[in-house]
Amino acid sequence: MKIGIIGCGMISGHHLTAVTRYPAATLVGVADLDLARARAQAERFGAAHAVDNVAELLALKPDVVHVLTPPAMHSAVVLQALEAGAHIYVEKPMGRSVAECNTMTRAALAARREICVGHNWVYSSAMMRALELIASGITGEVLQASAAYNYDVRRNPSFGLQHWAKSLPGGLAEDLAVHPVALLISVLGAPRRTFAVSRSSMSVPNANTADVRALIEADRGLGTLSVSIRARPDMALLDIWCERMLLRLNISSMTLTVHRDLPVPRTVARGLANFDVAGQLMSSTVRTAWRLLRRKVDGSYGIVPLVHAFYAALEAGKPAPIGPAEGTQAVAVLRSIWPALEQATPVRAA
């Protein structure tokens, strides 16, 4: 399986690591408008070719192309790669609008090629364990979910005036919001309606949005979303309320705790509940530390596992693990919060 990478920015390291760790994958080339950056990644990861344009990369006939460009370029690059016969892994968000996502989806269907959308948090370790518990039936039906992401951008020197996220209607907050939105979609299904409030702040002068909260009605329940680019500490959280238990995930620290009714009298359970959760956190922390010492921890927040799941699906002739439907649904939610690129709000993906 021949792999090509388009875009050699910060996130490309995780993708290139995923390629080199998959036995059946061969990295044939990398492309970036900054040829020096492309050459540096090619040398680091053993790519035979480094080029500064998409056409030269596609001339290498890759079976799969990773599109890691800013979202404004996704649609054009994806369509060009599909026309060249490649399957696509496209970084989040899939596109800037529902219309762009629909165009890419139709092109993939016409070309009989797969598109995998980079909702990598769904493949993070804590989330995968939570989804396994839900699939087993032990949790009972999922009723609600709440996802939050705090990231204080003020301490990040790369967030300058030229950062590509500023071209999005919601700015960096919109780019970050894709992650919790994807988590909510994975547990609650397709969004139906979104109601949101956002605000800017003088403390983050170059941001379109500093804080946002949203309520999402989805096929299988209600979800809430919270994103702040000025709150500390940096942390990603997800609570999943089910019929029999609450699943509490810390994506950042890779922990999952299960909050449930204990088989003791209620008055006793109130005291024991903290010990139960503390024990879970302790065992999870020890397990993660041990895996870290053995270099068995995925530090890519799910990128490497998702890439490998996509490659395995292609080899088995199966659909992408996270397809364009989920990518389009996530963009629909973003456009319902920040509607500058769409006409109506709330928006539902086609």
For residue 253, the SS3 value is coil
The pLDDT score that the predictor gives to residue 262 is: 84
CATH of 2-119+302-341, one of 3.40.50.720, 3.30.9.10, 1.10.10.60, 3.30.750.210: 3.40.50.720
Q: Which residues contact 240 (CB under 8 A, 6 or more apart)?
A: 130, 134, 139, 142, 144, 145, 187, 246, 247, 248, 249
The pLDDT score that the predictor gives to residue 157 is: 66
The pLDDT score that the predictor gives to residue 349 is: 38
Half-sphere exposure of 179 (CA within 13 A, CB side): 25
CATH of 122-193+201-293, one of 3.90.170.10, 3.40.190.80, 2.40.50.100, 3.30.360.10: 3.30.360.10
CA-based radius of gyration for the chain = 21
Relative to beta strand 191-199, strand 211-218 is antiparallel
**Long-range Cβ contact pairs of 48-51 (< 8 A, separation 24 or more):** none
Q: Where are the domains of the chain?
A: 2-119+302-341, 122-193+201-293
pTM of the model: 0.92
Bridge partner residues of 241 (DSSP): 144, 246
Q: Which residues contact 47 (CB under 8 A, 6 or more apart)?
A: 5, 27, 28, 29, 30, 41
The pLDDT score that the predictor gives to residue 81 is: 98
The pLDDT score that the predictor gives to residue 160 is: 62
Torsion angle defined by CA atoms of residues 121, 123, 129 and 134, in that order, rounded to the nearest 10 degrees: 80
pLDDT in tens, the chain (350 residues): 999 999 999 999 999 999 999 999 999 999 999 999 999 999 999 999 999 999 999 999 999 999 999 999 999 999 999 999 999 999 999 999 999 999 999 999 999 999 999 999 999 999 999 999 999 999 999 999 999 999 998 887 666 667 788 888 898 899 999 999 999 999 999 999 999 999 988 888 777 899 999 999 999 999 999 999 999 999 999 999 999 999 999 999 899 999 998 888 877 777 788 888 999 899 888 887 787 777 777 889 999 999 999 999 999 999 999 999 999 999 999 999 998 755 433 333 33
Burial class (CB in 10 A: 0-12, 13-18, 19+), 186: buried
